[in-house]
C-alpha cells in the first residue's frame, strides 16, 4: 500500500521521476526526515549529491529495502 502512494507521489505525468528529495525518501521508507539525513550522513542509506541537495534513487532504495528485509522462519 505504501508503494502505491509513493508511486503516485513521484509520478509527474508521462515521465516518472527517479530521484526523490529527502521528504519523499522519508515517506517512502517510513522514516522521519531527520533519520534519513542521519542515515545518509552515516552512509547507511544510498544517496546522491546534486549540488548541495541530497537526492535518493528509487531503485537504490528498493534494493536497500530488499537487502535489509528480515525473512520469516517457516
Dihedral angle at the C-alpha atoms of 21, 1, 73, 31, nearest 10 degrees? 30
Q: What is the mean pLDDT of residues 48-70?
A: 93
Topology of the domain covering 2-67: Arc Repressor Mutant, subunit A (1.10.10)
Average pLDDT over residues 59-66: 94
Tell me the per-residue pLDDT of 48-58, one tens digit each, with 9 for 90 and over.
Answer: 998 999 999 99
The yes-or-no verdict on residue 60 having pLDDT over 90 is yes
pTM of the model: 0.72
Q: What is the mean pLDDT of residues 18-36?
A: 95
| Distance between CA atoms of residues 23 and 26, nearest Å | 5
Task: Say which residue, 10 or 20, is predicted with more confidence.
Answer: 20
Residue 43: DSSP 8-state: T
pLDDT of residue 1: 44
Amino acid at each position: 500500500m505504501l508503494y502505491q502512494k509513493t508511486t503516485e507521489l513521484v509520478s509527474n505525468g508521462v515521465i516518472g521521476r527517479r530521484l526523490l528529495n529527502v521528504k519523499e525518501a522519508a515517506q517512502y521508507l517510513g522514516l522521519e526526515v531527520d533519520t534519513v539525513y542521519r542515515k545518509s550522513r552515516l552512509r547507511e542509506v544510498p544517496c546522491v549529491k546534486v549540488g548541495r541537495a541530497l537526492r535518493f534513487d528509487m531503485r537504490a532504495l528498493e534494493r536497500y529495502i530488499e537487502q535489509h528485509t528480515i525473512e520469516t522462519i517457516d
